Chain A
Amino acid sequence: MAAFGSLALLIALALAAYNLLAGAIALRLLATGTPARISPERLADTARRAGIAGFVAITAAAFALVWSVFTNDFSITYIMEHSNRALPGPYKFAALWSGQEGSLLLWAWLLATYGFVLRLTHKSDVTLHAYAGTILAAIQVFFLTVLNFAAPPFSLLNGPAPDDGNGLNPLLQYPEMVIHPPMLYLGYVGFAVPFAFALGALMMRYPGEKWIKITRNWTMVTWLFLTGGIFLGMHWAYAVLGWGGYWGWDPVENASFMPWLTGTAFLHSVMMQEKKGMMKSWNVWLIFSTFLLTMLGTLLTRAGLVSSVHAFAESPIGTWFAVFMGLTLAVCIFTYVLQRDHLKSDHHLESLVSRESSFLFNNLVLLVACFVILWGTLFPVISEYVVGNKVTVGAPFYNRVAVPIGLFLLFLTGVGPLLPWRATSLKSIRRNFVLPVAVLWVAVLACLAAGIRPWKDGTFDGGSFYALVAFAISAGVLTAILSEFFRGARVISKQTGHNLFAATYLLTRRNTRRYGGYIIHLGVVVIVIGLAGAAFNRSEERELALHDKMSVGPYTLQCVGFTQDANLNYNSEYALLDVYKDGKKQFQMTPEKRVYLASQQPQTMVAIHSVPNWDLYVVYEGSNPDTGQPIVKAFLNPLVSWIWAGVAVIVFGTLVALFPSLSPATASLRVPTARPVPTEPVLRSGD
């Protein structure tokens, strides 16, 4: 199977190279109108078909690796290092992305899958799809070259194959790890599609904004995957790492967050281009940056430039990524400089206080947030280079710098939708802002009354201060969004006689993109409320003898036993804790610590009891070697479940936004495909 996999990868490389070369030649012939022996249209179609065949070849390679994991083929180095016989089935799938070679193969396969769908749907605009397909082929050539020559997943062990493998990293043996990495990669890789369309549209001087409409759903789905991937990662960190938190500002976490920020900025500013023909250059560079940031994250961690708990071992593929990024950037700059006159805005902003400017400020703050994270991630390297001292840039830095910027962004989330297009007046501001501002101040007073005060006993509490600000702004933004729904629904209710709920549904169906966007903003507010709860986390740590008790918040935990268990894959120790509230037994928790047999590595399995107010989060930290008694750490983490609920709202909002709006009965005209530039012959779909 190793030989089959290697051969499939080589064939895939050859097909991708053909797709790139034939596609580039065909597009050049079409652009210049040079006569050739072979018809450029047919050449371009063979390139497209090679891309489709490449998908089959990469799928075969991925299948070969998964097959090798399931058949315990430990003659393959990768399988020996990342699997073992006792590994449960679902985690054998996870072995595909648990190491560098496998994760690169997954990346290439996902890229091929996106390319496959793109090439099958080419008839909506054949020429633009040919450009995008060729650019995707160039990216694919890079990944397949790395897979074939720098990080081959099918390399064989020297000497005889061992009976069993080293096993999967215990941290990855958790259900979410079967979903989180592929989802994150779907997000990373997916941004290659809008990037390819943007670069292709710029290369061919595509008329109008139709390329944005073609890529809109791609971008939103990709953004949804990235969002889901990031939050699944947070939940995994929360449930597995056992330190009571969900985000540690680790370079790999930062690497996933940066393209999310620029991608979010793109999703907002692209509406300006669609509606007003503005910010064309800005949008092109946003999507270029988003794609480059997906690569930068990989470069940072795989080149060993920054230390991270997630980092793969330092390897030469960092250089490959650096060269690829450099080339990509050069192509982007060259194309932009050559075609920048094509990106002139149709309109300019007319007022500082308008919907357009709120989009611009929103973009600006998102980009500054991205810069802050990039700056913090790279500063250790910069400091070492400039003054010779490596420093740590951890959570305290980001909490002080990124949190205020995030709160400003939340504020803009509320302000933007309340501003009319083009310009506004004081009257309009008063009308739209009175209620949200009033609610904001009521929230401040309510928080102060509830004991959330930025100062306690003469000392300033930064966490409480930010939480107070976050709760207050969230209340204001929530009111602003709900009042937008209410205003629209009331009008429809008057027009149609429906009740407000039915009118809200109809309102949303009539403009799914707008109201789906508002629902996403609601989700963001809910998440911020959940994040702000972290300011009030409490924890207690104790060694518990039998029937000993410990308290955290309103809960009392009583140790009723601790025991050991064994299975084929791991041995475990766990404590049995009865949990009391108001003197009554509520439930039992069993925090666990496992030691995996193959790797001999320990792993925490946190016990979590989640209610809307808080999470009771209990970690079994092991037993005291002197007394043999369990050491238990219990956290009371307020509002954590709001974060996960907010993500669900975001997913729902995105699905709503992806859903086509209700077409009024009077409007049934379909927009014809934009005509290409007159100087360039048009590609026809393949036979």
Chain B
Amino acid sequence: MATLLQFPAQPATEDRSMQSGSTALKARKTGFSLWIKSLQAVGLAVVVCFSLGATDPGARFNDLGHRMMCTCSCAQLLGECNHVGCSFSGQMRQELSAAIAGGSSDKEILASFSTKYGPTVLAAPTAHGFDLVAWIAPFAVLAAALAGTVLLIRRWAVNSIGAAQDAAAVEQANQDPEARALHDKIRRETGGDGGF
């Protein structure tokens, strides 16, 4: 995270000794590694949690019912199809209950439904073959877009003349009543009525 954040240089007027700077750096490094470890622990916990599956038959029925579509062309999930007299959902739900009672795994149940009703019975793409692209593409695009933006801003920041100005000066300009008044005056006189 620290590599992503780029803060402007400290104000030149600040007087700090080398020793206190070194101590602060060490403290920052320790804090940083603690943050990384905490994040790793949270990540691991999330992965473990996600890898656990539902075991209760009712919960499994509900879960699987929401991972398949009703095939009556209603475009609803099997668990939610509510058409009176729907000739598909009732039978499909019975088959699902029977398969759960028969001890089949989730994977086996989904595969058997897919074989019987066609791959469109699955409410989401599977995690293999070309279907995997469906899952990877959004996160790949997000990651690429974020990385690209970060790199772009860093490049702009390096090239920008304004990068030389430190944050305290900018903040002071933002806070200083006279500067703010001048800024507001300029904005009013150039027609802007505010915004963020």
Contacts and interface: CB of A to CB of B under 8 A. Distances in A.
Interface of A: 210, 213, 242-245, 248, 250, 271, 274-275, 307-309, 347-353, 355, 357, 359-361, 364-365, 367-368, 371-372, 375-376, 379, 383, 386-387, 389-397, 400-401, 405, 416-417, 420-426, 428, 454-455, 457-460, 462, 465, 510-514, 517, 593, 602, 604, 619, 621-622, 631, 633, 660-661, 663-664, 667, 669, 671
Given A274-B195, A368-B141, A667-B185, A392 B124 contact: yes
Contact of A392 (B53, B74, B120): B120
Contact of A622 (B52, B84, B150, B163): B84
Majority DSSP secondary structure for residues of A touching B: mixed
Contact of A379 (B52, B53, B134): B134
B196 A420 contact: no
Given A349-B157, A393-B125, A364 B149 contact: yes
Nearest to B54: A459
Nearest to A662: B193
Contact of A422 (B50, B122, B170, B188): B170
10 contacts: A271-B196, A355-B196, A387-B129, A392-B124, A397-B123, A401-B139, A465-B49, A514-B194, A622-B84, A661-B194
Nearest to B11: A425
Contacts of A242: 82
Contact of A348 (B135, B150, B159, B193): B159
Count class of interface residues, chain B:
35 or more
B142 to A, nearest CB: 5
| 8 A-B pairs closest in CB distance | A671-B191, A460-B49, A622-B84, A425-B167, A348-B156, A511-B194, A394-B123, A667-B188
Contacts of B5: 352-353
Contacts of A243: 76, 80-82
B59 interface: yes
B119 A394 contact: no
Given A309-B74, A350-B157, A352-B5, A375 B134 contact: yes
Most buried by A among B77, B120, B125: B125
Nearest to B161: A350
A324 B82 CA distance: 39
Contact of B156 (A350, A387, A460, A664): A350
Given A350-B163, A372-B138, A391 B85 contact: no
Most buried by B among A210, A355, A371: A371
Contact of B124 (A375, A393, A631): A393
B153 interface: yes
A379 B195 contact: no
A660 B67 CA distance: 50
A173 B51 CA distance: 46
B171 interface: yes
B160 A350 contact: yes
Nearest to B175: A420
A454 B49 contact: yes
A367 B134 CA distance: 17
Contact of A368 (B52, B82, B142, B195): B142
A393 B77 CA distance: 11
Contacts of A671: 190-191
Nearest to A620: B84
Given A387-B130, A426-B7, A248 B75 contact: yes
B22 to A, nearest CB: 18
B6 A392 contact: no
Contacts of B129: 387
A375 B136 CA distance: 11
A393 B134 contact: yes
A394 B69 contact: yes
Contacts of B77: 394-395
A396 B78 CA distance: 12
Contacts of A349: 153, 156-157, 160
B39 interface: no
Given A391-B120, A393-B134, A248 B76 contact: yes
A391 to B, nearest CB: 5
A30 B55 CA distance: 74
Given A244-B80, A271-B195, A348-B157, 4 more contacts: A274-B195, A371-B138, A424-B7, A465-B46
A242 B74 CA distance: 13
A364 B167 CA distance: 25
B12 interface: no
A396 B131 contact: no
Interface string B58-71: 01000000110100
A387 B142 CA distance: 25
Contacts of A367: 145
A602 B74 CA distance: 14
B57 interface: no
A212 B174 CA distance: 26
Contact of B50 (A274, A386, A396, A460): A460
Contact of B195 (A364, A392, A514): A514
A586 B139 CA distance: 49
Contacts of B76: 243, 248
A357 B123 contact: no
Contacts of A424: 7, 167, 171
Interface in B137-172: 137-139, 141-142, 145-146, 149-150, 153-154, 156-157, 159-160, 162-163, 165, 167-168, 170-171
A385 to B, nearest CB: 11
Nearest to A512: B194
Given A350-B157, A425-B168, A397 B134 contact: yes
A512 B194 CA distance: 8
Contacts of B59: 459
A417 B156 contact: no
Contacts of A365: 142
B195 A422 contact: no
Contacts of A401: 135, 138-139
Contacts of B85: 622
A357 B153 contact: yes
Contacts of B178: none
Contact of A351 (B6, B120, B124): B6
